[in-house]
Amino acid sequence: MMEPRIGAPISRVDGASKVTGEARYAADHGVPGLAHGHVVSSEIAKGKILRIDTTAALARPGVLWVFTHENAPRLVPPAPRGESEEVAPEGSAFRPLRNARVLYSSQPVALVVAETSELARDAASLVDIEYVRQDHATDLRRNLKRAHKPRGETAPSSRGRADRAWREAAVQVEAEFWMPVEHHNPMELFAATVVPDEDGSLTVYDKTQGVQNVQRYLCRAFKYPEHRLRVLSPFVGGAFGSGLRPQYHVYLAVLAARALKRPVRVTLTRQQMFTFGYRPALWQRVALGASADGRLEAIIHEAVSETSRFEDYTEHVVDSSGLLYQCDNVKLDYKVAKLDLYTPMDMRAPGASSGVYALECAMDEIAFHLGIDPLELRMRNYAQRDQAGDKPFGSKELRACYEQGARRFGWGRRDPRPGSMRDGHTQIGWGMATGVWEAMQEPASAKAILTAEGNLRVSAATADIGTGTYTVMAQIAADTLGLPLENVTFTLGDSSMPDAPVEGGSFTVSSVGSAVRAACEKLRRKIVREARRSRDASRWSGDRLIKVMRRRRIAVMEAQASVEPSGKRERYSHYAHSAIFAEVHVDDDFGTVRVTRVVSAVAGGRIVNPKTARSQILGGIVWGIGMALHEESLLDHRLGRFMNHNLADYHVPVNADVQDLEVIFVEEQDDIVNPLGAKGLGEIGLVGTAAAIANAVFHATGRRVRDLPITPDRLLARAPVISVA
């Protein structure tokens, strides 16, 4: 059998366990004596609890207890930023049941624990709460002038004299953009199953993107040594950033299990999935100035995002505008406005997906006014160097993305006149945009154990949120030691395993994958030393290593390795790039938009597994369709509450919305970004996609809708004329 190599399109090794139901998620673990908790959510957006009456709930047979701020154990107060959470923003993290204060609508204010989940939910409806309401503010549009520079964050880098250059430019475009709140809505609801042992130690099954992050958080909050609290999360049914931070369900489950001294499970409802982090609402202003031949002379990008009263959540919204195109005069500004909402949270491609949308729509507008093809405009302003960081790129194949994507899409046949391409009563539009996402690497560790039977087990405390981590890590290990893939098992999702960062930011393969490779290489060197020979260890195959172990009567050999970003890496800028081309059909009468075709050409370094990588990009494109046309969490500002907190009213793309999607992986070699040369793909598929669709809508209709999503009412209400300074 041929040994699998990095770059082979291997099917998911965990696929069978998922489709057969063998995979166990956080709410699937059967435990004897399990009790169930249901969260009671606040009815007001700001104020305090005057009275809370649990008498009726406690009177129901089978109800074990109702936890409130009046009887919850007094625990360690929230830590400053970074002390107990890996990705916490500046401020004081929210902790449920601490006091009578209500900080946002649907805040957890009680936990009813009963013998069954149905009984707990029914009893929760009997908890009677009287509130003192206070005036709240949840509308970003009305609070833009109250925005401030976020605490603890470095201001985005500006250069030159952008205001003056913009005023003096031959062609000027200035536009404002509004982005709505979006919620993650993974299929798996957030849940935690907490099992106390006889000695008081805890086993916690949680839905999370970082088991060690949850472990540190819980250990600090409940004063537990890490060896007595273990967090497990072998399978995650989607998260998209919502599982980066510990959510309140796991805290409440641990609190109840410790108090009742029995296993407790807390599962949130779909409605309660709207009661914590989200992609924040965002105002943006982009002003571009260019010469008559299309050379950018000024880029101004300002943004105001919302955050909670208790934390300054930030995103790198405007940063891409300083590096994506060649321009000597750039002014960037980012602020946050405090509102009576929960703290926003990273959601797939945070910051870049929003900021690049505004920039790329503005680029399309200036191309139209200059009479230059949008692709040609981007080629004329191609950046050979990262001006923002004043560094060369470690690798950059964006030009090849433009060329290959345009050729596959047929961009050369595009009639530049808006509204010129039709099919009966349907307007056809072609649009394009650029995508960019930083290729990061975090410190990580991994452990490799090889038996004389030729079975390799590799482990790290990372996660698999549906991205194919199980598969690519096994593939990297098999490739490194020259073993058949079926002989390799990769395990993850256990806080007792070697250290790994949260799975997010598209850095898992570069970080954990590099550690897996290092651990396997270290293991090979150990075995070669056992052979008492000085030959080059890198040439030893898996079969030869196993023969050495058997000859030396070694049943098991193991090695653990830790990897950090190299010093050489810091001298360069590292990004994945993409070029997205989209076709839309717009109905003349109803203004309905269908995305009929998308080609996404991606330069993401070395592609470890083209099959799972393609799935990541396809998923990102679908997210881009949702961002452009569907997704919007609507607030009733009178109540400070999200109204469409369900999957019936919060619209996401369905099968009928997803048509012809094509992914091209552009060859890109990079021996600097990390030992594997991989850049990560989770985010780059989304960045720029919404802009390409919006630009295609303009090309079809001549109408520029800058506020997302582009719904029929917004499209039909917009005048076709673009404002030009």
Active site residues: 683
In Å, what is the CA distance from 345 to each residue of 230, 247, 319, 636? Answer: 25, 11, 18, 21
Q: Phi/psi zone of residue 156: left (φ > 0), alpha (ψ -120 to 50 degrees), beta?
A: beta
Of the CA atoms within 13 Å of residue 645, those in its CB half-sphere come to: 18
For 469, the enclosing helix (H) or strand (E) is helix 469-481
* Cα gap 317→315, rounded to integer Å: 5
* Cα gap 460→493, rounded to integer Å: 8
Helix, coil or strand: residue 579? strand
What 619-622 contacts at long range (C-beta under 8 Å, 24+ apart), as own/partner pairs, is 619/685, 620/348, 620/349, 620/681, 620/682, 620/683, 620/684, 620/685, 620/686, 620/687, 620/689, 621/580, 621/661, 621/663, 621/685, 621/686, 621/689, 622/653, 622/658, 622/661
Preceding omega of 709 cis (within 30 degrees of 0): yes
For 519, the enclosing helix (H) or strand (E) is helix 514-530
Token representation of residue 245: 């931070």
Token representation of residue 462: 């990372």
The CB density around residue 5, as the number of other CB atoms within 10 Å, is: 11
* Cα gap 382→384, rounded to integer Å: 6
DSSP codes of every residue in 595-630: EEEEEEEEE-BS-S-HHHHHHHHHHHHHHHHHHHHT
Helix, coil or strand: residue 108? strand
* Cα gap 102→134, rounded to integer Å: 9
Nearest one of 683, 691, 682, 664 to 595, comparing CA atoms: 691
DSSP codes of every residue in 213-275: HHHHHHHHHHT--GGGEEEE-S--S--TTTTSSPPHHHHHHHHHHHHHTS-EEEE--TGGGGS
Beta-strand pair 171-179/101-102: unpaired
For 349, the enclosing helix (H) or strand (E) is none
DSSP, res 2: P
Burial track 261-284 (b if 16+ CB lie within 10 A, e otherwise): ebbbbbbbbeebbbbbbbbbbbbb
Per the CB < 8 A criterion, the answer to whether 47 and 133 are in contact is yes
